[in-house]
Amino acid sequence: MNKVEIEAKIAQECEMTHAEAKRVLACVLNSIEGSLKEGAQVKLVGFGSFTAVETKERKVKSPADGREIIVPAAKRVKFKPGKGLKDSLNS
C-alpha cells in the first residue's frame, strides 16, 4: 500500500474528501518527522514506536571491488511494533 492508497482509505473510512484525507495524513507524518528530528520518541499505543538513533562512522568493504569505504555517521529511524500490531499479524 502506498501513500495515495492510504489517503483513499482514510477518505473512505472517515467519510471525507480525498483532499482532506491527504492533508490529515501529511499533518500526521509531519508531526512524526518533527518529533523524531527533535529527538523525541513517537509512541502509538497498540501500533508501535518510532525512535531516531545515531549510527557511528564505520568502515565497510565495497561488494563491487572489495575496497574499504567509510560510511559516515548518520541518523536513522528505528521502529518497534507494539503488541496490538504483532497480535493482529499473528492471529
Q: Where are the beta strands (DSSP E) in 34-87?
A: 42-44, 48-55, 58-61, 68-71, 74-81
Instruction: Based on the fold, state whether residues 22 and 11 are members of the same structural domain.
Output: yes
Please, how many CA atoms are within 13 Å of residue 83, restricted to the half-sphere of its CB?
Answer: 1
Over 90: is that where the pLDDT of 61 sits?
A: yes
Per-residue pLDDT of 15-42, as tens digits, reads 999 999 999 999 999 999 999 999 999 9
Instruction: Based on the fold, state whether residues 55 and 79 are members of the same structural domain.
Output: yes
Instruction: Based on the fold, state whether residues 47 and 34 are members of the same structural domain.
Output: no
pTM given for the model: 0.79
The predicted structure's pLDDT at residue 91: 85
Provide the domain count of the chain: 2
Domain that holds residue 69: 41-91
Instruction: Based on the fold, state whether residues 54 and 33 are members of the same structural domain.
Output: no
Instruction: Based on the fold, state whether residues 22 and 51 are members of the same structural domain.
Output: no
